[in-house]
Copies of this chain bind each other. A is one copy, B any other.
Amino acid sequence: MRDFSADHSLLSINTATVRQQGDLLAIIEGCVRHSIQAISPWRDQVATVGLDAAAKAVRTHGLKLSGYCRGGMFPADASKRQEARDDNRRAVDEAATLGAACLVLVVGGLPQYSRPGSAVSHDLGAARAQVEDGIGELLDYARGARMPLAIEPLHPMYAADRACVNTLDQALDICDRLDPTRSGALGVAADVYHIWWDPNLFNAIRRAGRERLLAYHVCDWLVPTRDLLTDRGMMGDGVIELKKIREAVEAEGFSGFSEVEIFSALDWWTRPMDEVLATCIERHKSVV
């Protein structure tokens, strides 16, 4: 297990963590101020400042990108399917332009939430089939761009509206069917917030192995959790056994960044960016 205590060279900041405190260029400047060496930006944040300006800032400061958030939202009715396809190809292209390590896929839930305007359906099995078809199709495109796709299983509380892939095993089943040779083109983003509760977690991490573990995200699960979406905790403030999970991931040979991704409307989004980044560094060194 790697030693994080001496420095924060393996810390990445998912830029959603400080999305309320500034635009992407301001966040990049903040990261540079704190000698943070990697980020994972969101598409809407990139769009706001412009792809070229974002790419230039990344290059100028020599930042690495542990991922790019996000492609996905595959379930759609016929009227929205082309939109979903085009949108995901643009996400691959943007990720390549920015030099991201992978494109993270939040796969989408039922079509009316995944691609608003789609006809209402409660058929979760059909949504899951569409997700697999969509990933399969995008994978061909992403191979051409040499951009690995990282399926992020989301917590089951998001199954209806955000992602109907809800466990590592379910994501790995998709990977095994679409990329049986474990080529490196398709894998998973393992976010502790979504997977910590899984009784099969440690088996699933072993099953994933180095080839499938494309990204590792940390935050914490608060008790009580006051909001399903925006009440994630800072590492160390909740109940997740962070070191135990990281140890398992690294035992498989994962050598990437530990990416902090915190959505916190009531707490961390209300604090100054420098305080949040300094706290991420401190917790990265002490409890992650």
Contacts and interface: CB of A to CB of B under 8 A. Distances in A.
Interface string A187-217: 0000000001111000000000000000000
A279 to B, nearest CB: 20
A124 B128 CA distance: 29
Interface in A203-240: 221, 223-225, 228, 238-240
Q: In the assembly, how many copies of this chain are there?
A: 2
Interface residues of A, number: 30
B113 A225 contact: no
Contacts of A196: 124, 159
Contact of A161 (B155, B160, B223): B223
- Looking at chain A's contact residues, the main secondary structure is loop
A45 interface: no
Nearest to A166: B197
Nearest to A165: B199
B197 A110 contact: no
A156 B221 CA distance: 12
Nearest to A158: B197
Nearest to A197: B159
A123 interface: yes
A58 to B, nearest CB: 34
A13 to B, nearest CB: 24
Given A157-B157, A161-B223, A197 B239 contact: no
Given A156-B156, A224-B228, A228-B228, 16 more contacts: A113-B223, A122-B239, A122-B241, A124-B239, A128-B199, A156-B157, A156-B197, A157-B225, A157-B228, A159-B197, A160-B238, A160-B239, A161-B223, A161-B224, A166-B198, A225-B228
Interface of A: 110, 113, 122-124, 128, 155-157, 159-161, 164-167, 170, 196-199, 221, 223-225, 228, 238-241
